Structure 1
Amino acid sequence: MSGYLKPQQIAEATVDTGTIKARNPLSAMLILGFLAGAFIALGYLLYIRVTAAAPAEWGSINSLIGAALFPVGLILVLLAGGELLTGNMMAVPLARMKGRITTGEVIRNIVVITFANFLGALFVAYFFGHVVGLTGSGPYLQKTVDVAAHKLDDSFIQAFVSGIGCNWLVALAVWLAYGSKSFSGKIMGIWFPTMAFVAIGFQHVVANMFVIPAAIFEGHFSWGQYMSNFIPVWLGNLVGGVVFVAGAYYMVYLRSQQVNNQKVTNGASEHLHAKDAGAESNSMPSGAASSPVH
């Protein structure tokens, strides 16, 4: 038996997963969303703690090390359990494209998970970053502020396009995880696309829910500046997940299947009508069909 699913099968499995996500009770969405936001924030906190004190001579190698550590957050989300906005931006709309859920269910899920992820990330930023002091002083504060400043420096269109690139990769990481039947295979599928988006420097809306507020809690930047980043990155992540992963694979693997199924259904219906008409004609008296109407 194969240890992984083929792309067509991944698409079908993702539709099933997206349907379940959209129909989770509100309490489950809030709890799992909080956990996912916290997990991603912990992955980012690990990134900062490891890379902040590294020698400057390490250059891009330091960034690569941090990028290799960050995926622990998404691994926890997908294997321990969590509802992450960026993954849901792919799976839930795909279930809608397939006709399994309503547009209202998509909107409800995306809004609730956005809020819950924000609470989870904010919890880690405030209590672990600020109260414990893990991002509050020395090179760790400097790294946090530098990363946040770099993200806030992007214009609206830059942040939007960066968000597209980010969730193209993150949604593919989720896609690959759905495609593996083994724990180790899921970890490998998650690891490399996630590491790639971090190393490239793309913007992830949930990761930003941690790092920018962490800098704000230490007296840098404002919530207004944060919102000017949140909106374009959120929209970019949405486009990356919906268009470049869900939409693309729907067109290739699921739409043609729906069209073919519809053709089969229509053909069977036409055949049945023709058969019924023939039976009705045969049941008429032999002279009835040729009798003139007076």
Structure 2
Amino acid sequence: MYSPGEILTISIENGTKKIAKPFVAKLILGFIGGAMISLGYLAYVRVSASIPSNLASLQALVGASVFPIGLIVILLAGGELITGNMMAVSTAFYDKKVSFQALLLNWLTITLANILGALFVAYFFGHVVGLTANGVYADQVRQLAEHKISASWYQATISGIGCNWFVGLALWLCYGAKDAAGKILGIWFPVMIFVAIGFQHSVANAFLIPAAIFEGAVGWGDFFRNFVFVYLGNSIGGAIFVSGFYFVSYKGH
């Protein structure tokens, strides 16, 4: 492992590189990022849906154990995920390597591409192929989506903070590991824990809630209201609770 100070330097470099990527590359990699997180959530549904609801803790643990594959693929094979960029690009901004305008444009581009990737998986793999359309799988998607949208605005925001505190730490540990096995372990456990706890991830919700919509449950207004507040919380969790705290601690002086 690199030291925390060295990880901060790596994060700043990676955040700067994310800004410098061509626009088309950002769109493609952002689409991949949204799709991979969604496929991780689809795996969650497929492995846990048949576990009885009175074993909710076991259901959450089993689903959470497979969800991290999405972020592993993004970070090791290539992809852009807005919750990760909220951490990495923020460190580059704090170090004055990128402008605030460039940060916002990056966040907007990756967010839109992530949503497209999530919708693609929800519609084509979930609805058209039928992986979330029938039986216990459709029931679980509806129940999970209804639980997400039932949160008040402040619950959704605070939950989003908790989520991206863990996702940002997963990136931090990935940047700090020196080999692939260390990176996988560094990603796996923080992501598994945020999912098992039940914190809300804006891009994962961009798969789950539309998947429920395609099966006749909830509505698009429910999705957009949820997305705004979870996204706000994710921004605070990544840009302040991870990159902000560590920047002040290791380079703020």
Which amino acid is 1:93 matched to? S
Mapping for residues 122-161 of structure 1, pairs under 5 Å: 122-161=119-158
Moved beyond 4 Å, runs of 4+:
none
Does residue 114 (structure 1) correspond to residue 111 (structure 2)? The answer is yes
How far residue 56 of structure 1 moved from its aligned partner, in angstroms, is 4.3
2:173 is aligned with what amino acid?
Answer: L
Percent of aligned pairs with the same residue?
A: 54
1:38 aligns with 2:38: no
Distance (Å, rounded) in 2 between the aligned partners of 1:56 and 1:100: 49
**Contact map agreement 1:19 1:92 (CA 8 A) in 2:** yes
**Range moving further from structure 2, 58-67 or 154-163:** 58-67
RMSD, aligned CA? 0.8
Query: Structure 2: how far apart are the matches of 1:195 and 1:93?
Result: 24
Q: Does 1:199 align with 2:196?
A: yes
Tell me the residue number matched to 1:51: 48
Letter in 2 for 1:98: D
| 2:210 is the alignment partner of 1:213 | yes
Distance 1:47 1:59 in 2: 13
User: Aligned letter for 1:249?
Assistant: Y
**Secondary structure of 1:135 counterpart:** coil
Q: Does 1:17 align with 2:20?
A: no
Picking from 65, 80, 83, the partner of 1:86 is 83
State TM-score, norm by structure 1: 0.85
Following superposition, the deviation at residue 22 of structure 1 comes to 1.0
**SS, match of residue 157 in structure 2:** helix
Query: Does the CA contact (< 8 Å) of 1:38 and 1:121 recur in 2?
Result: yes
Query: In 1, distance between residues paired with 2:50 and 2:63?
Result: 12
Cα distance in 2 between the residues matched to 1:185 and 1:170? 16
Q: Aligned letter for 1:156? A: W
Q: Any residues of structure 2 matched to 1:55-74 within 5 Å, and which?
A: 55-56=52-53, 58-74=55-71
Q: Structure 1: which 5+ runs fail to align?
A: 257-294
Equivalences, count: 253
Which structure 2 residues correspond to residues 88-103 of structure 1 after superposition, within 5 A? 88-103=85-100
Pairwise CA distance, 1:57: 5.5
- How many Å separate the matches in 2 of 1:6 and 1:135? 43
Aligned 8 A contact 1:23 1:105 in 2: no
CA distance in 1, matches of 2:157, 2:53: 30
Task: State yes or no: 1:7 paired with 2:4.
Answer: yes
Q: Structure 1 residue 55: deviation in Å?
A: 3.6
> Shift in Å at residue 254 of structure 1?
1.4
Scaled by the length of structure 2, the TM-score of the pair is 0.98
Structure 1 distance, partners of 2:145, 2:77, is 28
Which of 1 and 2 has greater Rg?
Answer: 1
Residues 1:251 and 2:248 aligned together: yes
Question: Alpha-carbon deviations, 1:5-62, whole Å to 9, x = none?
Answer: 1100000000000000011110010000000000000000000001001244644122
State whether structure 2 residue 179 is matched by structure 1 residue 187. Answer: no
- Correspondence list, 1:276-287, <5 A: none
Consecutive unaligned residues of structure 2, counting only runs of 5 or more, are none
Q: 1:182 to 1:27 in 2, by over 3 A?
A: same
